[in-house]
Homo-oligomer: A and B are copies of this chain.
């Protein structure tokens, strides 16, 4: 049903042509740092609240711990390291009593994109530029002087729509290399009886994470082959004027790449050119089960990022409220 990633490999010329077509640079002025989150206004926020019909909140966050998906395949990422700064064993040993309070305290060291997360607009570059045409060199070891995640700290609230492509296709999980096309997205929405509106948070379920969880092995989940959005969906995203796009995979787009000429071509275009914030590694099982049961695929969605100054991503605990 879905297209294979290698059905027809495209060239950089095609990539660049699409990038030009879908570019939103300047659309919200030269100083914009939030991109398609501009599609969310008071109306969309009110609309989101109207989605709450039965009073059920569902977390889409994978727990953050050392059993996370990072397996050293990609970049310098690692699983979260949680360590304790004070413990109950210290407390019961009496070691804290001079201070008059018995407590535990802790810290974490983690890549901001090691688990369920937002990619900030400063995360991916197109040639020497990032979203809205800012120079990529504005992101240095001091962080992202432009397009940092802290710029969107009040924006991650709106109407959410689940497109359960796996269920639509009648499979537990798409296969690695399966490319979800624009037609797939439209047909899935239609079959679910839900419409995509401007300013929506669109969440696509491939079943990939559940496949790994069921197998008890992440293997190539983070950085390897995966089902995911076809490159062409960049045009769908642009046309639909959605606020954000999220999936239950590591990198949203299909892997292996649909081109031999670069890596993650969809990323090249979608973040820097469309200016859309991307959600990855979403845990969709509970939401998908609920939607299958009540046949309602829309909901209030919120996933406030940690406003880490100048960060290019943030771990999140997204919530769908129905």
* Residues of A in contact with B (beta carbons under 8 Å apart): 41-46, 48-59, 61-66, 72, 75-78, 80-93, 95, 99-113, 122-128, 130, 135-144, 150, 153-157, 257, 261-264, 267-268, 300, 302-313, 315-319, 321
Contact = CB atoms under 8 A, between A and B. Distances in A.
Contacts of A268: 101
A75 B64 contact: no
B139 A319 contact: no
A1 B85 CA distance: 38
B304 A141 contact: no
Contacts of A62: 307
- Of A49, A51, A78, A92, the most chain B CB neighbours within 10 A belong to A92
B84 A140 contact: yes
A308 B153 contact: no
Contacts of A304: 59, 61, 302-304, 316-319
A50 B155 CA distance: 19
Contact of A72 (B52, B66, B99, B309): B66
Nearest to A43: B55
Contacts of A83: 76, 83-85, 107, 141
A137 B72 CA distance: 24
A245 B307 CA distance: 22
Nearest to A105: B75
11 contacts: A76-B81, A83-B85, A88-B135, A91-B128, A103-B123, A107-B109, A108-B311, A154-B319, A157-B302, A157-B319, A302-B304
Contact of A136 (B46, B80, B91, B122): B91
A109 to B, nearest CB: 4
B141 A84 contact: yes
Contacts of A93: 89, 92-93, 137, 140
Contacts of A125: 88, 91-92, 102-104
A99 B263 contact: yes
Nearest 9 interchain pairs by C-beta: A42-B55, A100-B263, A88-B136, A88-B139, A49-B52, A45-B55, A65-B309, A304-B317, A102-B125
B84 A84 contact: yes
Contacts of A309: 63-65, 82
A92 to B, nearest CB: 5
A64 B72 CA distance: 16
